[in-house]
Amino acid sequence: MALRILQGLLPFLFILGLSPLLVGLINKQKALLTGRTGAPIWQPYYELIRLSRKETIYAKTASFVSRLAPVVVFSAVLIAGFMLPVGYTRPLLSFNGDIVVFAYLLGLARFFQIIGAMDIGSSFEGMGAAREATFAVFAEPIYFFTIGSLAFVSGYTSLYEIYLSIRLDNPSSLVFIIVSSISAFFLMVTECSRMPVDDPNTHLELTMIHEVMILDNSGVDLFLYQYSSYIKIMIYGIYEVLFFNPFGMQNQWLGFSLFIVLLLLLSTIVAWVETMIARLKMKNVPQYLLFATAIGILDLLIYTFVK
Amino acid sequence: MTPLAVQNHQPFSTGDIPILPVKEFEESLRGELLTQARMIGLFGLESKGQETTVIAVLARPLKSAIDLIGTKFSSAKNSYKTFADIFPQTHYFECELAENHQIIPEGHPWLRPVRKQTICGQELYSPYRMEGEEVHEVAVGPIHAGVIEPGHFRFQCHGELVYHLEIILGYQHRGIEKLLLKASPYQQNILCESIAGDTVIGHSMAYALAVEALSNTSVSLRTQVLRAISEELERIAMHISGLVGIANDIGYAIGSASYGRLRTLVINSTALLCGSRYGRGFIVPGGLQFDPTEQLINAMKENLQVVYDDVRAINEVMFGSSSVLGRLDHTGTVEKEWAQSVGMVGPAARACGLDTDTRSQFPYGAYKYTHLPLITLSSCDVFARARIRALEIEESFRFIFDQLENLPSSSIRNQLDSILSDSGVVSLTEGWRGEIAHCAFTDSNGAWKRYKIKDPSFNNWYGLGLALRSEAISDFPLCNKSFDLSYSGHDL
């Protein structure tokens, strides 16, 4: 009983507690790669604490949507996070068909973020919202083609069971792991507004996608937005890393350690990409995303051949 | 009547400038512009009662000559037929003249204020605006995110696509030209250093050369060489800083970190020369304030050698990275013909294949004796404007190392003679941003009557507007940085 409670608490604590740390790690490694000392890895926590203490100010033109949006975004992202297994444990929420719910919970979060941005009526935020909406159209197929083809292969429709079904003894799984993890990485950088799709460090409103949508938010609202963006990185990080889980599935503790190591490795890869690669031209982003979708389609092709 | 032709830094008597009736002035100026002359000034020289004397200054690069021609406007007849409808390069100069002296260019396609809010007594200026259901307007500034100068940008967009960008400046107008007339010689030097904080050497050099020309003072060879070295140091530092900005704007962290680190070493080398990292107080009329010792020169050489080696390595990495090239290529293109017709100058013009470089076309100081290769590129986009910086940095280093090897030894400061009365001089220098023009005129006592300054930004702001045509609005910051123009240099 006690173990089960612990197992239930683990994903909760992991996702809520450690997602800022993952961002801190990425930023720290990025700084180190460019020869700087960088902010401490705890910096995202300090940011969150600072924001939570600040006063929340609303624009004169803001309606109830602006007040509602941050809460909806945060809750939707958090619930989606609970559908993913952390390491080997069974997730808090797991049922047949949750791959669709997972996608559209994040879709709901995006929708509210977009209307929250449009609600203010600033031209900058309108531009950001338009970009977010456009790129979402190209990002969604990536998710469904990667996880969807795995669902086809395994016959399961729950994220946990799909991941469990990846077996090393099946040679086609190996191909799936490689191919899916590539498109999952593309999905991650798009959804989490990282390079080369969006630049989290820029101060230029005209080039931003995610950052420009939260320009007019402050205090607790900004806290919720920032926290949900940290959680999103954690979610997509887990989503990516779990493809490699079969290597550690045999042993729970080994599986969990491997899971952590892979997450750290992923943060290094993200930091490396952000240092070494320039951002894409905005008009080339759809091409970049379609490439990832094409990889996803490759998954389905592999499936038909294997079958 | 032929215009008065002088050379760069050659003093002339104000009376020698032909003052023609307006009609003939128009014809003569039109003839000049038709034969590839580039306007570098159109300004009122003096106002006596109802009459205003206006001087046009034109550069003739092929002959290394500068043509001057004048006319008189009275309050009864204060208009002329515009040139801007055929020669867009005069557009902004005509606006400036209209703003300052209420002299109206008839038929001007786009009469708009340069530094103020109204022009020629018209009502408050409102920017050009596109109408339509799906058109939207984005206004940026004058307060910006990040630490930059104030300027207002108005985009007329259709989705992400920019149809028109209007740039409204003037927030930094300090009245430098007027301040200069009242200031003491010491203050004048400081004022000229402050025209644009990033072109200290360029402007103070133009000022010093103008004063020296008008007082018939010659400076020693050592002075000339050290001045050229300091100017090239400024060019290197600011070009590196431009590359930092470009790398930063495209999110290329390794590039911005590496270039950023190196710029410090370069401006520290300038500090070795004169104690100021931006070169303040180094160049004064008559020579230099400080003479570097052998020890300082060696320290400088060591510094610069480090930067030279590293810069070449980073250039190779940055311009060899496919993701960087993919971002820069075909972004913010200004056709060569456009660049020429709006009269762009400096690296931005050279990136469009125009061979405008004051150092080789109107050589002055040490550039008379040592030739710096003129680099042009033909792709006219952000890539060309970034690449030309990288190439010019390397050339400037070679020049500096060459000059430091055999630095002539002589005194660094000569006494100024008294300044010629009723005379004028056109002083052109090549700042890192392009051609700087100081046109100085004295009255019968040898005091300034008119001191007209043109920063290269004055020519190039319009080019930035053109670069954004049919470009994505998200590319604006990158295009802006690739031009890297001065707000205060424009606003004066």
Q: Which residue among B137, B251, B476 sits closest to A279, beta carbon to beta carbon?
A: B251
- Residues contacting B459, CB < 8 A, separation 6+: B89, B92, B342, B343, B344, B345, B346, B434, B435
Q: Give the residue from B406, B410, B455, B414 showing the smallest Cα distance to B432.
A: B455
**Distance from the Cα of residue B276 to its chain's centroid:** 22
Q: Which two tokens stand for residue B241?
A: 């800083």
Q: B470 — contact with chain A (CB < 8 Å)?
A: no
Does the distance separating the beta carbons of B253 and A30 come in below 8 Å?
yes
ipTM score for this prediction: 0.87
Q: For residue A280, give the chain B residue with the closest CA.
A: B327
Q: Is the pLDDT of residue A248 over 60?
A: no
> What distance in Å separates residue B432's CA from the closest CA in chain A?
25
Chain B neighbors of A36, CB-CB under 8 A: 257
Chain B contact probe: residue of A36, A275, A277, A288 with most B CBs at under 10 A: A277
> What distance in Å separates residue B256's CA from the closest CA in chain A?
9
Q: Which residue among B254, B474, B475 sits closest to A34, beta carbon to beta carbon?
A: B254
Q: Is B476 left (phi over 0), alpha (psi -120 to 50) or beta?
A: alpha
Q: Give the residue from A146, A135, A115, A278 showing the smallest Cα distance to A193.
A: A135
> What distance in Å separates residue B153's CA from the closest CA in chain A?
12
Q: Which two tokens stand for residue A254?
A: 């080994």
- For A133, A192, A212, B292, the CA distances from A199, given in Å and listed in that order, are 17, 10, 11, 45
Q: Is the pLDDT of residue A41 over 80?
A: yes
> What distance in Å separates residue B346's CA from the closest CA in chain A?
26
Q: A37 — contact with chain B (CB < 8 Å)?
A: no
In total, chain A counts a number of residues equal to 307
Does the distance separating the beta carbons of A202 and B327 come in below 8 Å?
no
The β-bridge partners of B60 are B65
* Termini Cα distance of chain A: 42
Specify the higher pLDDT residue, A179 or B285.
B285
> What distance in Å separates residue B164's CA from the closest CA in chain A?
15
Q: Indicate the residue type of A227.
A: Y
Q: Give the residue from A23, A22, A28 showing the smallest Cα distance to A40.
A: A28
Mean pLDDT in runs of 10 for chain B (492 residues)? 86 89 89 89 86 91 90 86 90 90 88 86 82 86 83 89 90 91 89 91 93 90 92 93 92 90 90 89 89 90 92 93 91 90 92 91 89 90 94 93 88 85 91 92 89 92 90 90 91 88
**Following DSSP, what letter does each residue of A74-112 receive, concatenated?**
HHHHHHHHTTS-STTSPPSS--TTHHHHHHHHHHHHHHH
**Cα within 13 Å of Cα(A95), Cβ side:** 5
Chain A neighbors of B323, CB-CB under 8 A: 196, 277-278, 280
Chain B neighbors of A35, CB-CB under 8 A: 257-258, 261
The residue with tokens 């070009």 is: B239
Instruction: Check residue A10 and give its pLDDT.
Output: 80
Residue B7 contacts residue B61 (beta carbons within 8 Å): no
Q: B159 — contact with chain A (CB < 8 Å)?
A: yes
Q: A282 — contact with chain B (CB < 8 Å)?
A: yes
How much is the CA Rg of chain B, to the nearest whole Å? Answer: 22
Indicate the SS3 state at residue A215: coil
Chain A neighbors of B138, CB-CB under 8 A: 123-124, 127, 206
The β-bridge partners of A68 are none
Q: For residue A283, give the chain B residue with the closest CA.
A: B472
Chain B contact probe: residue of A125, A201, A207 with most B CBs at under 10 A: A207
Q: Is A172 exposed, middle or buried (0-12, 13-18, 19+ CB in 10 A)?
A: middle
Q: A60 — contact with chain B (CB < 8 Å)?
A: no
Q: Indicate the residue type of B319.
A: F
Quick one: how many helices (H) and strands (E) in chain A? 11, 0
- Residues contacting A50, CB < 8 A, separation 6+: none
Specify the higher pLDDT residue, B369 or A2.
B369
Which phi and psi angles does B282 have, rounded to 5°?
Answer: -85, -55
Chain A neighbors of B252, CB-CB under 8 A: 277-279
Residue B51 contacts residue B106 (beta carbons within 8 Å): no
* Termini Cα distance of chain B: 34
Domains, chain B = 4-106 (3.30.460.80), 198-452 (1.10.645.10)
Q: Which two tokens stand for residue A90?
A: 């069974």
Q: Give the residue from B336, B347, B348 showing the smallest Cα distance to B372.
A: B347
Cα separation, A28 vs A5, in Å, equals 34
Residue A279 contacts residue B324 (beta carbons within 8 Å): no
CA-CA-CA-CA torsion for B289, B295, B298, B299, nearest 10 degrees? -80
Indicate the SS3 state at residue A32: helix
- For A194, A297, B192, the CA distances from A293, given in Å and listed in that order, are 18, 6, 58
> What distance in Å separates residue A303's CA from the closest CA in chain B?
33
> What distance in Å separates residue A213's CA from the closest CA in chain B?
15
> What distance in Å separates residue A28's CA from the closest CA in chain B?
13
Residue B249 contacts residue A204 (beta carbons within 8 Å): yes
Residue B180 contacts residue B448 (beta carbons within 8 Å): yes
Asked, as a colleague might, if the bond just before B142 is cis with ω within 30 of 0, I would say: yes
Does the distance separating the beta carbons of A275 and B253 come in below 8 Å?
yes
Cα separation, B236 vs B161, in Å, equals 34
Domain ranges of chain A: 2-306
What part of A 204-223 touches B (C-beta under 8 Å)? 204-207
Does the distance separating the beta carbons of A130 and B249 come in below 8 Å?
no
- Residues contacting B235, CB < 8 A, separation 6+: B392, B393, B396, B431, B432
Does the distance separating the beta carbons of A196 and B323 come in below 8 Å?
yes
What's chain A's average pLDDT?
Answer: 86
Per-position b or e across B192-219, b if 16+ CB within 10 A of its CB = bbbbbebbbbbbbbbbbbbbbbbbebeb
Does the distance separating the beta carbons of B327 and A281 come in below 8 Å?
yes
Cα separation, A301 vs A155, in Å, equals 16
Q: Is the pLDDT of residue A151 over 80?
A: yes
Q: B472 — contact with chain A (CB < 8 Å)?
A: yes
Local confidence band at A223 (pLDDT 50, 70, 90 cut-offs): very high
Instruction: Check residue B242 and give its pLDDT.
Output: 93
The residue with tokens 């100069």 is: B93
Chain A neighbors of B136, CB-CB under 8 A: 123, 126
The pTM (predicted TM-score) of the whole model is 0.91
Q: B162 — contact with chain A (CB < 8 Å)?
A: no
**Cα within 13 Å of Cα(B431), Cβ side:** 32
Sheet containing strand B135-140, edge to edge, reads: B135-140, B152-158, B161-168, B471-472
Cα separation, B39 vs B97, in Å, equals 13
